[in-house]
Structure 1
């Protein structure tokens, strides 16, 4: 069984903690997708979705602390994107938890696209900034 999303060097920010957390987010997404499409264990889905949402919020907080500490010039723009994505994730989690939305592969695909867009966009830019910071120290 192929994973929905795989870690690759193209996704790397070259910051150990951020990349480690991104890899964990991918693992959680793949676990959710695998349960959804292959195991038939629908009783596991709410817990897995909540774990992914919770870890994503933790990751956002980690990035924001790091950006604030280093006076990242695009902190506010990045934070706004985190806030928007967090609200969407929490709404999705709420709708799925109370049965208003069926958790299906369309949802995991949407989450995958969001991760790719964010990792390759805002987080790539943050990674380049962090690399410049490391070289200047």
Structure 2
């Protein structure tokens, strides 16, 4: 079996997902901190804290995707439209998750956290990795 750069067997962050763009890498890591916290609160059934953390996730998705999209435009990265479309689909999924949870569909929580972890890792190792070089060149990162 050939070993690839990215480990798609796990849904946890590891350094194989680093793109070499510190600002973006740190933001990607933050996503997994938020998801870890969601899982912990869900296991403890801390519903009062869940609401604020879900809001934090939703706001962070908007912030991070805007950061990536701005960098892509600045660096004239290829396939920006496709990348933005992927971001929009994920934003909508997070919104669905938000509404479902607020409508007392807590069973959905584990499923959504798992989906978000997998989606983020696939997105980072695929779509994000495709534009990393053009952004590093624009920002002067070696």
TM-score, normalising length: structure 1: 0.84
Distance 1:46 1:124 in 2: 32
CA-based RMSD of the aligned residues comes to 2.3
Distance 2:140 2:55 in 1: 38
Task: Determine the structure 2 residue equivalent to 1:34.
Answer: 40
Distance 1:134 1:101 in 2: 42
Q: Number of aligned pairs?
A: 133
Residues 86, 104 of structure 1: alpha-carbon distance in 2 compared, 3 angstrom cutoff: closer
Distance 1:123 1:90 in 2: 22
Q: Which runs of 5+ in 1 are unaligned?
A: none
Q: Which runs of 5+ in 2 are unaligned?
A: 1-9
Residues 52, 61 of structure 1: alpha-carbon distance in 2 compared, 3 angstrom cutoff: same
Question: Are residue 58 (structure 1) and residue 63 (structure 2) matched?
Answer: yes
TM-score, normalising length: structure 2: 0.81
Which of 9, 14, 26 pairs up with 2:15? 9
